[in-house]
Amino acid sequence: MAKNTITLRILPEENWISVPVGISARDALSTADVVLADYCGGQGLCGKCRVQFLEGAPDPSYADDEFLEKNEIEQGFRLACMARLDNDAAILVPFETRTQPSQVLVKDVEAKPIAADSGFKKIQLKIAPASLENQLSDFDLLRQAVKIENLRADLALLKKLPFLLRESDYSLTLSLCEDDLLDIEAGDTAADVCALGAAIDLGTTTIAGALYHLESGKLLSRAGRLNPQTIHGADIISRIQYASASPKNRKEISALAAAGINEVIRELCAAASVSADAILSITLAGNTTMQHLFLETPADFLPTAPYVPVFKDALNLSAGDAGLQIHQRARLFVFPSIGGFVGGDTVADMLIASLENSAKPSLMIDIGTNGEIVLGAGKRLIATSAAAGPAFEGRNIACGIRAESGAIDSVSIVEKVSVHTIGDAPASGICGSGLLSAISAFRQKGVIDASGRFNTNALPSLKDRFFENEEGLGFMLIRKNEGAQRDIFLTQKDIRQFQLAKGAIAAAVQLLLKEYGIAASALDKIYIAGAFGNFINPEDALIAGLIPAAEKEQIKFIGNAALAGASETLLRTPMRAKALELARRTAFIELAGRPDFQDIFAESMMFGIF
Amino acid sequence: MAKNTITLRILPEENWISVPVGISARDALSTADVVLADYCGGQGLCGKCRVQFLEGAPDPSYADDEFLEKNEIEQGFRLACMARLDNDAAILVPFETRTQPSQVLVKDVEAKPIAADSGFKKIQLKIAPASLENQLSDFDLLRQAVKIENLRADLALLKKLPFLLRESDYSLTLSLCEDDLLDIEAGDTAADVCALGAAIDLGTTTIAGALYHLESGKLLSRAGRLNPQTIHGADIISRIQYASASPKNRKEISALAAAGINEVIRELCAAASVSADAILSITLAGNTTMQHLFLETPADFLPTAPYVPVFKDALNLSAGDAGLQIHQRARLFVFPSIGGFVGGDTVADMLIASLENSAKPSLMIDIGTNGEIVLGAGKRLIATSAAAGPAFEGRNIACGIRAESGAIDSVSIVEKVSVHTIGDAPASGICGSGLLSAISAFRQKGVIDASGRFNTNALPSLKDRFFENEEGLGFMLIRKNEGAQRDIFLTQKDIRQFQLAKGAIAAAVQLLLKEYGIAASALDKIYIAGAFGNFINPEDALIAGLIPAAEKEQIKFIGNAALAGASETLLRTPMRAKALELARRTAFIELAGRPDFQDIFAESMMFGIF
Ligand code: FES
Ligand code: FES
């Protein structure tokens, strides 16, 4: 008899487990809590889940041939998601293949139930059958029972209705979206499975989601993961280039986004122990490019002037048409955008910041690779975008890493330098908020001057932190022999990278203020949104000159407001019209074409400008 | 070299024609104007297109195996639609396989253009591209150009929009239905192909259609054909039984209706030299069963008390979902019904009769196998149905045939009997209107008495017309040696069949009058609708007691009002709401359960009751 299980030895931890025959190596490892990097969600598309079979390597898959070198395959390397375990095996999981818990921002969604008004509901009905005295059609029975004069159903539901009615003895559960019938089930299922909805923030780097009960507004779970499109480039432009190369590519990059969202949905549902089939509504906010790439609407004309998107208004679509694996009649609401580079995520932020409700102008900044800035009050709202580059995400920085376990996220200097890492793990690099914190500390202690140049004479106690190599001056934050996983430092070039990023944001803020005709001192509030904004210290942002000078109380961190805004539109139907109105009403100000842009940008790279 | 054409010899006419190799025998014969019976439109489903190959018989098709006996196949019989001509052949076309021009009623559609308000249109646009100063999305460009604030488009259109815009140099033609974008084409196509719509009357026996220009309301063509579902029974009940036997059968009978409608659409388009792709809108009226069988909504519970349809309200569907081969985004409006046996065709009739606009109650009768009767005025409208049976269609009558060329459609008796036939062709049988005319003549000359019994002593000159055989008494209308194709006569049983049919209608009328609380003399107008009604003489109907006694001016023939009503909803959107309102407002009166029904029915079979 063939055996039903095999034994798997996991190295280097020497963990021996028993798993069913035929399972994938990725799934087998996950049962032992070894979680692998998997940008594509285990579809053999990203090549990130490399492991090495020391014994019992299966035949290479087509994905192995694509992603691995011939000699690697000979050495037993395989992509774990595509490797089927039919025999006992020993697998070495390299350090770089293991995922570090990532700081994907999902914690900022309002956790308290809010009064929901989603338009979706499930209703249980016990109906009296038609009679000769009361010759109603089957559909009339439903219509009268739910008291919706113009109840609508599609043909597929009408086809199954008569049998469902009679099999269930006229006891049905209806799923409804306003006047539209979304589903009919026999018996009382409303008690088991309520009408669920998901809000999705589709970011360039990460996808975050929150699952709600659509009737009570109760938050059921949150989840986040990397956007699998990352395999085709970390930035927007390389993804657009890839997608625009052929209809096949456009389809692929759309499918990757859908796969990522579906994976987030699976996680949301697993955490809440519910089925994805119960999800009747999804709202999605992303930047204009992400929304285009996901929906397969060509982003070809976005990168070049006049930066034309296919659509800016909100879209109400079938979730299934967009590749989402939830209830077959689920609805998808896609956020309206303001322009090619101020997208649905900014509009979602705006629903949270509510600038239109304040009497004095306020400023909202979403800090990221692309910074979005909105300024205004009441009926006058203006917006622009600033290409900050990847420094805030820890990229293009010598020791930069993503905000993950082991990343330095804050730096302080008294006499000596001390660092703090995410998860208090041994330092493995520095992330965006650590960079900002370091710059702030450097400025306070004179380690850099107003132009950003290192001053090696600042503090005597820091003398030995400076070093010089072929690339120029550098400053050591923590050495390998001080408990870090390796030497971690900042170079003069890193400081310049930061200055380019903060200069872009600060210049955009100044130009918007100029356009609006007010001084920074006239601002009421400064809202800081976005994943990066959430992890920074407001004082650091002020000192580094990222935001205009302000009292601490004026600065409001609204965290991952895009997800919160998406949740608002999920749970409260009127917010959808409000989002569209805000998007249409906010004027996009194009900075690139302005004659004063270059001067103000150069000036904004300096410190002490605000 | 292989030859490209073959020679076909058609028998018995000895017509020799040359046709392309590979053509079907059906298509080849049609080039010689030999038109075959084809209930299924040439799909090998009905078995009606039997021909006999005397030479060059092709291999039998799977359809031949299904419909023909083994010895027939050996004798060269084949179904013409499935027989491919690869070699010279000689084909004998039996008389019974040839179609007689059928009197399908399509002539009564209002031929003059009416003011259209269909909601559909095509618009040609020359758009200014977006610029840095005017950063609109591609979709915004359209939205502003057509001045529709909430213009909606599906994802597929958004996907192709950016390329179409740029390839066409921003010159597009849009197809619209209210705020919905149905299509985008490059360049100016509105001039060539206007927005078209089709109205369909889906009858149990025949399908009739009319094609219109949706903007001007101009009638382009009309067409009609047999309902291919006829292969599963001429009557409603046998079709429901067939459809209810399995989901496969239900699908098949739905596909047959769709095939029939598609064939009518092809004829409509061929006659107007347009493409079916230009049809953006279809409205369809049929009896409740026909609408159910076409849409594949189970009719299983219609035949038995309490006679429950799946739906009664109007449906707005995607035409493609219902299997119609027209524009992929075309809309289908299906008429609302009043009850299981008073369907959308009656509601369409009501749009033409406009009972609700008259001050005094009027009566509307649609005479057919199932008679529908509506009575009322203003806000009070009541309706019922009467199972008249097939006598009015010439079935179950000894010499009865459909209303086709050669059918006796009127009979007059002065001293002698004289008959008139459709198309003035040699008489081959008697159709429903001929039967009514004969009964009227018999009553006037005393050939039958008030109970319907033959009186052989009525007129001396008619003495030799009577004959007796094992089935009882009969009356000879015309003999083979008097120029007919065969002896054509009516039997005592035929008279009884007619009495059953007219009794059902007359009883229903009387019971409705009783329910409404008025006498027949209080009626304002009597509207007669339906194919049968169109060919009868009002005096015959009065004399035979089919309708209440009335002045000739009170009787209005509204012809194929179902097709005219469907055309109204096609061309004037507000008529759709009106149809729904009339359907919901009209009370269905169930006669079967009434204690007085049997008495009134028995009485109504007599002559002279009104
Ligand atoms: S997870 Fe294996 S290739 Fe992406
Ligand atoms: S036309 Fe040939 S089988 Fe129907």
Q: Can you give the pLDDT at residue B102?
A: 40
- Position B108 pLDDT exceeds 50: no
Q: Which of A184, A192, A188, A191 is nearest to A141 (CA)?
A: A184
User: Is residue B157 within a helix (H) or strand (E), and if so which, with residue range?
Assistant: helix B155-167
Reduced to 3 states, what is the DSSP secondary structure of residue A147?
Answer: coil
Nearest C-alpha in A relative to B158: A297
| Mean pLDDT taken over chain B | 89
In a domain, B552, yes or no: no
- A240 and A323 share one domain: yes
Lowest-confidence range among A93-107, A450-464, B95-109, B425-439? B95-109
Six-digit token string for B395:
């079935």
| A135 to B163: CB separation less than 8 angstroms, yes or no | no
Indicate which CATH number applies to the domain containing A70: 3.10.20.30
Q: Which of A24, A29, A46, when mutated, tests ligand 1's pocket best, judged by the most ligand atoms within 8 Å of its CB?
A: A46
- A165 and A277 share one domain: no
- Position A336 pLDDT exceeds 90: yes
Q: Can you give the pLDDT at residue A405?
A: 80
Q: For Cα atoms B256, B258, B259, give the angle at the middle one, nearest 5 degrees.
A: 65
Q: What is the C-alpha separation between A151 and A182, in angstroms, rounded?
A: 11
Find the domain containing A301 and state its range: 196-334
Indicate which CATH number applies to the domain containing A145: 3.10.20.880
Q: Which string of b and e fits A487-510 if b means at least 16 CB within 10 Å?
A: bbbbbbebbebbbbbbbbbbbbbb
- Position B113 pLDDT exceeds 90: no
Domain boundary among B63, B97, B131: B97
Q: Can you give the pLDDT at residue B403?
A: 78
In a domain, B156, yes or no: yes
Read off the pLDDT of residues B463-483 as tens digits, 9 standing for 90 and up: 999 999 888 899 999 999 999
Q: What is the C-alpha separation between B328 and B321, in angstroms, rounded?
A: 9
Read off the pLDDT of residues A310-327 as tens digits, 9 standing for 90 and up: 999 999 999 999 999 999
Mean pLDDT of A404-423: 89
| B312 to A140: CB separation less than 8 angstroms, yes or no | yes
Q: Which of B553, B517, A467 is nearest to A477 (CA)?
A: A467
- Position A111 pLDDT exceeds 50: no
Helix, strand counts (H, E) of chain A: 16, 26
Lowest-confidence range among A142-156, A586-600, B68-82, B112-126? B112-126
Chain CA centroid to CA B308, Å: 24
| B135 to A339: CB separation less than 8 angstroms, yes or no | yes
In a domain, A106, yes or no: no
Ligand 2: distance of its center to the CA of B45 in Å?
A: 6
Q: Whose CA is nearest to atom 4 of ligand 1?
A: A46
In a domain, A365, yes or no: no
**How would residue A286 be classed by pLDDT, with cut points 50, 70 and 90?**
very high
- Position A108 pLDDT exceeds 50: no
Ligand 2: distance of its center to the CA of B232 in Å?
A: 14
Number of C-alpha atoms within 13 angstroms, CB side, residue A419?
31
CA of B276, closest CA in chain A: separation in Å? 23
CA end-to-end distance (rounded Å), chain B? 77
In a domain, A44, yes or no: yes
- Position B1 pLDDT exceeds 70: no
Q: Give A199's contacts (C-beta < 8 A, 6+ positions apart).
A: A109, A209, A210, A212, A282, A283, A284, A285, A563, A566, A567, A569, A570
In a domain, A392, yes or no: no
Nearest C-alpha in B relative to A247: B159
Most confident of A352-361, A545-554, B388-397: A352-361
Read off the pLDDT of residues A578-607 as tens digits, 9 standing for 90 and up: 999 999 999 999 887 788 888 999 999 998
Ligand 2: distance of its center to the CA of B99 in Å?
A: 13
- Let me know: does B94 contact B548? Beta carbons within 8 Å: no
- Let me know: does B371 contact B358? Beta carbons within 8 Å: no
Q: Can you give the pLDDT at residue B594?
A: 84
In a domain, B476, yes or no: no
- A180 and A200 share one domain: no
- According to DSSP, the residues that pair with B89 across neighbouring strands are B8
- Position A112 pLDDT exceeds 90: no
Mean pLDDT of A525-542: 81
- B168 and B87 share one domain: no
Residues of chain A neighbouring B310 (CB-CB closer than 8 A): 137-139, 158-159, 161-162
**How would residue B33 be classed by pLDDT, with cut points 50, 70 and 90?**
confident
- Position A610 pLDDT exceeds 80: no
- Position A2 pLDDT exceeds 60: no
In a domain, A301, yes or no: yes
Q: Can you give the pLDDT at residue B109?
A: 43
- B316 and B213 share one domain: yes
- Position B610 pLDDT exceeds 80: no
Domain boundary among A301, A334, A367: A334
- Position A40 pLDDT exceeds 80: no
Q: List C-alpha distances in Å: A2 to A21, A55, A268, B294.
A: 10, 20, 37, 54
**How would residue A110 be classed by pLDDT, with cut points 50, 70 and 90?**
very low
Mean pLDDT of A374-399: 90
Q: Which of A29, A48, A67, A256, when mutated, tests ligand 1's pocket best, judged by the most ligand atoms within 8 Å of its CB?
A: A48
Q: Whose CA is nearest to atom 4 of ligand 2?
A: B46
Q: What is the C-alpha separation between A262 and A258, in angstroms, rounded?
A: 6
Lowest-confidence range among A342-356, A394-408, B294-308? A394-408
- B39 and B152 share one domain: no
- Position B404 pLDDT exceeds 90: no
- B17 and B90 share one domain: yes
Q: Can you give the pLDDT at residue A39?
A: 65
Q: Give A340's contacts (C-beta < 8 A, 6+ positions apart).
A: A288, A302, A307, A308, A309, B135
Minimal Cβ distance to A137: which of B143, B163, B308: B308
Q: Can you give the pLDDT at residue B104?
A: 40
Q: What is the C-alpha separation between B265 and B279, in angstroms, rounded?
A: 9
Mean pLDDT of B443-450: 93
Mean pLDDT of A91-109: 58
- Position B114 pLDDT exceeds 70: no
Is residue B73 classed exposed, middle or buried when 0-12, 13-18 and 19+ CB atoms within 10 A define those classes? middle
- Verify whether ligand 1 is closer than 6 Å to residue A38 (CB atom): yes
Is residue B606 classed exposed, middle or buried when 0-12, 13-18 and 19+ CB atoms within 10 A define those classes? middle
% of chain B beyond a pLDDT of 70: 95
- A179 and A201 share one domain: no
- A161 and A247 share one domain: no
- Position B110 pLDDT exceeds 50: no
- Position A394 pLDDT exceeds 90: no
Interface probe with A: pick from B136, B144, B152, B159, most Cβ of A within 10 Å: B159
The larger pLDDT score, comparing residue B361 to residue B63, is at: B361
- Position B515 pLDDT exceeds 50: yes
Q: Can you give the pLDDT at residue B447?
A: 94
Indicate which CATH number applies to the domain containing A303: 3.30.420.480
Read off the pLDDT of residues B195-208 as tens digits, 9 standing for 90 and up: 999 999 999 888 99
Q: Can you give the pLDDT at residue B595?
A: 86
* Number of structural domains found in chain A: 3
Reduced to 3 states, what is the DSSP secondary structure of residue B20?
Answer: strand
Q: What is the C-alpha separation between A208 and B189, in angstroms, rounded?
A: 45
Read off the pLDDT of residues B240-265 as tens digits, 9 standing for 90 and up: 999 999 999 999 999 999 999 999 99
- According to DSSP, the residues that pair with B120 across neighbouring strands are B177
Q: Can you give the pLDDT at residue A99?
A: 64
Minimal Cβ distance to B131: which of A163, A306, A588: A306
Secondary structure letter of residue B45 according to DSSP = S
Domain boundary among B334, B356, B383: B334
- B157 and B229 share one domain: no
Secondary structure letter of residue A154 according to DSSP = -
Chain CA centroid to CA A467, Å: 38
Largest Cα–Cα separation, chain A:
100
| B158 to A308: CB separation less than 8 angstroms, yes or no | no
Read off the pLDDT of residues B548-576 as tens digits, 9 standing for 90 and up: 888 888 888 887 789 999 999 999 999 99
Q: Can you give the pLDDT at residue B392?
A: 85
- Verify whether ligand 1 is closer than 6 Å to residue A29 (CB atom): no
- B202 and B322 share one domain: yes
φ/ψ region of B43 (left if φ > 0, alpha if ψ in -120 to 50, else beta) reads: alpha
% of chain A beyond a pLDDT of 90: 61
- A52 and A179 share one domain: no
